[in-house]
Structure 1
C-alpha cells in the first residue's frame, strides 16, 4: 500500500507548524527585561509561548489582539513551535531562568518543571484575579502537583476513535459496535487491510497503553511516581503484540510511513485511504475542518471502558516563577478562561471550557462539529473514572523510551516480550 499520512508542518517565516502544532517565533527578551503593567498603569510586556496547529495560531493571535485592545498598556509577545520543538526551546530557557511569562503546559511536564521550582504556584491568584466561581473544583485541581497549583486547566478532553463512516462501509462494516472490544477492533482493522486501507494511524503509546492499563485496574506509574504502576508485563505484551501485528498486516502504517506525516489535509482519513484516527476529542475539530465528508466519533474499546476513560485537562497555562509580572500574567489567564467574547473565538479548541458560564454561552453558537465534541465530553463525565495523578518528573524521558521500543516493534526488529523487558529496565532507571 502506498498512502501518505500527514500531521501538520507548514512554515511561516520563522514559524514552523506540525501535526501537534506550529513553529516558533523569535523569543522576546528574558523575563527580567520585560516591563510590567502594574497598578500604576506602566507599559507591560509579557512573553506567551504555546504549541498548536495553524488554526490555533491564528485564533490565539486574535485573542491576544483583543486583550491588548482592552488593556492598551499590555503588549504580549507570542512564541510558538511544533510540539517537539516547543519543549526543546523550553528546556534551555528554563535552565537559563528565562522562561516565558505565560507557558502553555502539558501534563507530561507539569511536575517536572513545577517540582524544580520553575513554575509559580497559582493558588494565590485563583478566586481573586482568576475567577473560579463558575468552575468545578475537580477541574481546577487537575493542575495540582501535591498542594501546589502549577497549571490552570484550559479545557477538558477525552480520548476516542474519530473516523469516516463512509470509508468504514467500504470494507463491509455498516457501523462500529456500540460496546466494541479490543477483539472487535483487531478483527475490523484486519478487514481494512484486506481492502488496501489503513484502519487507523497507530496509537500514541503512552496515552493508549495508559488507557489499556486502567481497564485492567492498573496504571502506567505507581502512586508516588517512582516506578511503573503495573507488575505484570503480560499487559504490555498483550497490548503491543496486537499493535505490532496490525502494522505488519498493513492495517496501520509503519514508522517510516508515519515519519512523512505533514498535516491533517493529507491525512489518509481525509483522503479516503484510511478509516480513522485515535486522538483527543478536541482534535476532532481540526480533523473535521479539512474533511470533505462528515466524520464521527466512537467510544474506546472495552471491556471496562468506564475504568479506562478519564477527563484530562487538555493543556494548562502556567506562569514562570522567574516572571517579574505574575499578577499581569494571571490577569491574561483569567481573560482566556472567563471572557465570553474571547471564547467565541477560541470555541473549545483547547478543550471544553471549564467555566460553565462560558460553556453555556458559547455552545449555541458552535457549529455542529464542535457541539459534537462538547456533547461527547458531557457524555464522558458520566462514563469515566478519576484521572491518575499528574505525570512524575522524568515522564517525558520515559515516554521517549516507550516510543522507541514501540517503533522497534513496529519495524519487526523487536518482540513485544523483549520490548517489555527493555522498557521496564529503562523506566526503573528513569523514575528512580
Structure 2
C-alpha cells in the first residue's frame, strides 16, 4: 500500500499569529531514548470527536495501562471548532496538553511558534518507525523537525453513486482526462432527464482548491514552497478556472442555487449528483446521509492531467503531537507510539480515525466493506502517489474557504474569472503577510 521505508483528511483556521506565545523557548533538550518503568507519570490527552470516539480512547488507554501501569492518562474531548479555540487559549498561556490529536492544517502554525515537541529524536526508539513509510513520516515534518505522527491517511478520489448511475443508464467513470469526466457527467444528466429523474452528473470541480492542486502537481509544482511562498501564478489560476466556463453553462452539473439549498450537505450526499471529487475518508459520512436506499458507493481515481504524473498524495486524517512544554516527553512518546502503531490500537479504533497509517495497526483492524474499498483504492493509485506537499502554510484554511466561495460566485455568475483571480491573490497577500 505504501512505499517501503527503504525506497526513498474544511477546517476553520484559528489564528495564533500576533500572540505572544508562552513556552516558546528557542531550544529543545535532546529526548531520552528510554522510559523509566518505575516513574509515576500523569499525562493529559486531548482530542476532537464524540462519545463514540471517547469510548474507543478509553479502551485504548486501558490496553496501554496493561503494559504501562505507572502512566495515568487524563483525557478530554470537544468538537472540532471548540477543540482549536481551547488550544489557542492554552497556547497563549503555555498550557497545552501533553499529547494531542492534531490537524494537518495547524501543524506549521504551532510548530513554528515553538509549541510542539520535535519527535525526530524518538523515531526508531520509543516511537517505532518501521511500520510507517517514509512518505507517511514526511507528512509530519516541518523544516528539519518531525512534529506529528499520522494516525491514518486519506487520498483525493472520485466517489460515485451506483444507484443514480443505474437510473441514468450510464456506466461508472472509466478514467480519462478532465474533458472525459465532463462528458461523462453530461451523459449522466442527460440520462437522468430522459428517465424523468432530477439529478446531475456532478458539480463544478473548479470550485475545489484540491483539484487545482493536483493539476499543478501533475505539472511538477506544489501550490506552496517549503518556505510558504506561492508556487503558482495568476495565469495558472486563471487557466484553471477557465476550464470550468463551458461546464458552468452546461446541464452536466448541478446549479449553485441548488447546492446552497441543501448546504451543509453536498449535492452528492443529497442524491442530487452522481459523483463527487473529495477525500476518500468522506465515504462513511456520505453513506450515512444518503440512507438505506444507497447501500454502497463507487470509488475511482480522479481524472488525469498528465499521463504518468504523481499528482496524488496521502494526507493524514489526523496526527498525534506532543506539547513542547510537557514534563514527561518519554512517557508521551511511548503513548503516541501505542496509539499509532500497536495492534491493540488498530483493533480498537478500526477506521474511526481513518485508514490506519501504521502497517501493524492496519493489519489488526477489522475493516468493514467501505474501509476495505478505501484500502483497495489507495493501493490502486500507488503509481500516482507522490511525495506529500509541504505542510500547509499558516492561513491555508482561510484560502481554501476563499477558493470555495469564489467557485460558488463563478457558478452564480456574480464574478468573472479575472475578478476571482484578483480577489484570491489579494486574500492570499493578506494571509501570507499577517
TM-score if structure 2 supplies the norm length?
0.78
Is residue 214 from structure 1 mapped to residue 212 from structure 2 by the alignment? no
Match of 2:310 among 300, 307, 323: 307
Match of 2:123 among 123, 126, 132: 126
Q: From the superposition, tell whether residues 312 and 403 of structure 1 become closer, same or farther in structure 2 (CA, over 3 Å).
A: same
Q: From the superposition, tell whether residues 102 and 407 of structure 1 become closer, same or farther in structure 2 (CA, over 3 Å).
A: farther
2:29 aligned residue: none
The offset of 1:173, in angstroms, is 0.9
Which runs of structure 2 are paired with 1:381-396 in the superposition (5 Å)?
A: 381-396=382-397
For residues 355 and 203 of structure 2, what CA distance do their matches in structure 1 show?
Answer: 25
**Corresponding residue SS for 1:274:** coil
Q: From the superposition, tell whether residues 134 and 87 of structure 1 become closer, same or farther in structure 2 (CA, over 3 Å).
A: same
Q: From the superposition, tell whether residues 344 and 192 of structure 1 become closer, same or farther in structure 2 (CA, over 3 Å).
A: same
For residues 368 and 116 of structure 2, what CA distance do their matches in structure 1 show?
Answer: 36
**Corresponding residue SS for 1:49:** strand
**Deviation digits for residues 408-429 of structure 1 (CA, Å, limit 9, x no counterpart):** 3344322222111111122133
**Corresponding residue SS for 2:356:** coil
1:235 aligned residue: 239
For residues 159 and 201 of structure 1, what CA distance do their matches in structure 2 show?
Answer: 16
**Corresponding residue SS for 1:282:** helix
The offset of 1:377, in angstroms, is 1.3
**Corresponding residue SS for 1:155:** strand
Q: From the superposition, tell whether residues 394 and 385 of structure 1 become closer, same or farther in structure 2 (CA, over 3 Å).
A: same
Report if the CA contact (8 A) 1:20-1:53 is conserved.
no
The offset of 1:98, in angstroms, is 2.5
Is residue 426 from structure 1 mapped to residue 419 from structure 2 by the alignment? no
**Deviation digits for residues 217-250 of structure 1 (CA, Å, limit 9, x no counterpart):** 4332235212343452333422554675579962
**Corresponding residue SS for 2:168:** coil
**Deviation digits for residues 29-48 of structure 1 (CA, Å, limit 9, x no counterpart):** x99xxxxx975442514132
Match of 1:316 among 304, 316, 319: 319
Report if the CA contact (8 A) 1:198-1:274 is conserved.
yes
Report if the CA contact (8 A) 1:200-1:251 is conserved.
no
Is residue 275 from structure 1 mapped to residue 274 from structure 2 by the alignment? yes
Please say which of residues 151-160 and 54-63 is displaced more in the overlay. 54-63
1:117 aligned residue: 114
Unaligned runs of 5+ in 2: 1-9, 13-21, 24-34
**Corresponding residue SS for 1:418:** helix
Please say which of residues 103-112 and 349-358 is displaced more in the overlay. 349-358
Q: From the superposition, tell whether residues 85 and 143 of structure 1 become closer, same or farther in structure 2 (CA, over 3 Å).
A: same
Q: From the superposition, tell whether residues 403 and 175 of structure 1 become closer, same or farther in structure 2 (CA, over 3 Å).
A: closer
Report if the CA contact (8 A) 2:345-2:361 is conserved.
no
Q: How many residues in Structure 1 have an aligned counterpart in Structure 2?
A: 391
Unaligned runs of 5+ in 1: 1-18, 22-29, 32-36, 262-266
Which runs of structure 2 are paired with 1:151-230 in the superposition (5 Å)?
A: 151-177=148-174, 179-193=175-189, 194=193, 195-200=197-202, 205-230=208-233
Please say which of residues 277-286 and 149-158 is displaced more in the overlay. 277-286
Which runs of structure 2 are paired with 1:253-292 in the superposition (5 Å)?
A: 254=258, 256-261=260-265, 269=268, 272-288=271-287, 291-292=291-292
**Deviation digits for residues 350-388 of structure 1 (CA, Å, limit 9, x no counterpart):** 3433333333344xx423322221121122222322222
Q: From the superposition, tell whether residues 45 and 223 of structure 1 become closer, same or farther in structure 2 (CA, over 3 Å).
A: closer
For residues 197 and 147 of structure 1, what CA distance do their matches in structure 2 show?
Answer: 49
Which runs of structure 2 are paired with 1:246-257 in the superposition (5 Å)?
A: 250=254, 254=258, 256-257=260-261
Report if the CA contact (8 A) 2:46-2:75 is conserved.
yes
Which runs of structure 2 are paired with 1:10-89 in the superposition (5 Å)?
A: 39-42=37-40, 44-50=42-48, 52=49, 56=53, 58-68=55-65, 71-72=68-69, 73-82=71-80, 84-89=81-86
Q: Give me the CA root mean square deviation.
A: 3.3
Report if the CA contact (8 A) 2:313-2:386 is conserved.
yes
